[in-house]
Amino acid sequence: MPSVAVKLYSVFFKFLLKHRLQTRFQTLINDNNNLDHFGVSTRPDESIAAANPSFVEGVATKDIHIDPFTSLSIRIFIPDTCLAVPQQFKSKAKGLIRSESGFGSSEDPSRRNSYDPSSVMSKRDDSNRRNSYACVGNDDSSSKLKSEKGESYQGYLPSGSENCRKLPVMLQFHGGGFVSGSSDSVANDLFCRRIAKLCDVIVVAVGYRLAPENRFPDAFEDGMKVLHWLAKQANLAECSKSMGNVRGGVELRKGEVQRHVADAFGASSMVEPWLAAHGDPARCVLLGVSCGANIADYVARKSVEAGRLLDPVKVVAQVLMYPFFIGSVPTHSEIKLANSYFYDKAMCILAWKLCLPEEEFSLDHPAANPLVPDRGPPLKRMPPTLTVVAEHDWMRDRAIAYSEELRKVNVDAPVLEYKDAVHEFATLDMLLKTPQAQACAEDIAIWVKKYISLRGHEFSY
């Protein structure tokens, strides 16, 4: 069972959440013109962590407002490993080490049970753990960049593929019942830093528009906008490299390249240097927390439907952390745990009423229930999907059922269930520093690296 401190904090949390939801619901009733296309992505009562372009605890951050017509914004988390060229990749990999132990140690009570145990490679020592991507470069450029890690990292535009370490890109969608939370909150900032370091990826936390100011599908479409923005950035980076090549014996300087790209595509099309230098959109992972998992799954489905229209972006996997799924026919966990910790069923239904348009409200809406007929596309086309669930979460059974349906069509879709855990046990501010939250992040990193590591180095961590 959860500790006494967790139970007490849950009572306080539910009281505040219920008050906020009811206040917004009442405001919506009193003001029929409450809908705002521009919207908000952060509430005034949210504790915010300021962005810092210096490598604080190994991660630098930057905020970007990517859509001038809405409040949609992102926070980029880039680990300092992007500046290093791992020594082990200067020589040929000596082989793969296999293990039949599964995810982590089964003796650790803080870890989860898996509904889909499979053989994975054993982890090596922590010094090699986050260096799982092959790259080329020279010691001089890498050491120069590493010497500047203590200063503000401004990024650079690469003139070629050498001297540049490419990292996968992970789109992260925060939780909050569609009506609260933000990409730059203190809790989300800490969680994304942890994931960026453990997975050795560039995390792009999406500040989508919140309900009820913006109802479905605004927050979901914001996720697709960010995916298209990533594709645009990758194409602009290619343009900048080609324009930076020698023309008539004269090589354009970085500033000139940026100006030429802006002249050709407009001021809003300036190349984002962190992504241009270090992002590999061909290895894109989606990670959603609670209601963010619903958005991640929507983006995954739309990316499958878009196909090559998103080139060079390719979604190779997704992680759904205690997804905010629901349905009209209650599951066993919905009956037994309807009044569970932090997010009970009554409050979640109210959150869905604030999110979905009044004329479309249904617990079997495609955004709420992943197993409704004709949801599209066929499940067999979905990317590999890791699902994280908590033992004391009333939404767990529906998430497990969705994972089972994916496995029926041969999609890699394991479920990690954590004992004595509650909804948002690995991302809630109070629980972020617990051993169980750390174990969850490590387990996610182990699974994700199967799909983001370069061929021949999949299990070198």
CB 322 within 8 A of CB 444: no
Helix axis angle, 4-30 to 345-355, nearest 10°: 30
Q: How far apart are CA 97 and CA 124, in angstroms?
A: 9
* Beta strands 73-79; 59-65: pairing state: antiparallel
> Are 122 and 101 a contacting pair, CB within 8 Å?
yes
Strands 98-99 and 120-121: antiparallel
Distance of alpha carbon 336 from alpha carbon 223, whole angstroms: 33
Residue ranges of alpha helices (H) inside 268-367 are 273-278, 291-306, 332-336, 345-355
DSSP, residue by residue, 198-214: HHT-EEEEEEPPPTTTS
Angle at 225 between CA 223 and CA 229, to 5 degrees: 120
Q: Which of 278, 365, 392, 423 is catalytic?
A: 423
Which amino acid, residue 63? D
Q: Which two tokens stand for residue 1?
A: 């069972």
Selection from 352, 441, 389 nearest residue 103 by Cα: 441
Residue corresponding to tokens 């004391």: 392
Task: State the Cα–Cα distance between residues 445 and 104, nearest whole angstrom.
Answer: 11
Identify whether 19 is a catalytic site residue: no
Q: Which of 222, 280, 393, 397 is catalytic?
A: 393
Which listed residue (41, 183, 185, 290) is catalytic?
Answer: 290
* Residue 242 among the catalytic residues: no
Does residue 240 carry a catalytic annotation? no
Catalytic residue numbers read: 290, 393, 423
